[in-house]
Amino acid sequence: MCLLIIVSLTGLLGMTAQQAYTERALTGMGGLDLTEKGGITLQQEALAAFTAMQLAALKDGIHLAVVSGYRSFERQKQLWNRKYRSYIAAGLTPQAAIEKITRYSTIPGTSRHHWGTDVDLIDVAQKMPKDPLLADHYTGKGVYAPLRAWLMMHAESYGFYLVYDNDPRRKGFAYEPWHYSYKPLSKPMLGLFLNIGLPAFYRGKSFEGKAYLTPTLLARYRREQLQCIHTALR
């Protein structure tokens, strides 16, 4: 179950800070004001908040690090194409490949990582598993379980909220205990993003499986994958 809330674009245009978020900026195509520090690329406000959270975590013995921050349309396209080709080579139909990819990965142009507000987090003081971004590493006796516990207790006080929680009623992307979003920027950006017509946006774009992204599929993807997130971020 997911309560859907769509923010009016006209309502946000009165907010000066949001006027710079063009369609290109919201879809990873360029034009977003980004800051890079220590290998982390985010919007300046989000980066400052993350740095403060990182310093606080360090005092508690948690060495916060970002394995993925800002991601462009082209980078998301590369990730998408690699997975799509792999699943097709394994014998999946195009529709099944898209269904499998969108358990964890977004269609190019729709990633929250395009906004410079979202981060995938690990603790670099721990030995990194071969595939660090697996839920099992963040629960029970997993290597990042202490990190998860710290984030659940402190992250929101720095403006960062878990995006895809483990509420069994939630549809869409699978549980991602590593993915946090800087709410003061990402929440209004989501409101603006939801006004973009995806079928029109994808005209002229080229990536694997695009021909199978029907208006019906995109409407369901928008409703379930993009909007079924932590209630505080909607």
Q: Among candidates 87, 86, 77, 78, which has minimal Cα distance to 107?
A: 77
CB atoms within 10 A of CB 199: 11
* Domain housing 175: 9-229
Q: Among candidates 180, 169, 182, 168, which has minimal Cα distance to 138?
A: 180
Q: Is residue 65 part of a domain?
A: yes
Q: Among candidates 182, 194, 200, 199, which has minimal Cα distance to 11?
A: 194
Q: Is residue 21 part of a domain?
A: yes
CATH of residue 52's domain is 3.30.1380.10
Q: Is residue 42 part of a domain?
A: yes
Q: Is residue 4 part of a domain?
A: no
Q: How many domains does the chain have?
A: 1
Full-model pTM: 0.91
Q: Is residue 76 part of a domain?
A: yes
pLDDT values of the chain reduced to their tens digit, one per residue, 234 residues: 564 433 333 333 333 344 479 999 999 999 999 999 999 999 999 999 999 999 999 999 999 999 999 999 999 999 999 999 999 999 999 999 999 999 999 999 999 999 999 999 999 999 999 999 999 999 999 999 999 999 999 999 999 999 999 998 999 999 999 999 999 999 999 999 999 999 999 999 999 999 999 999 999 999 999 999 999 999
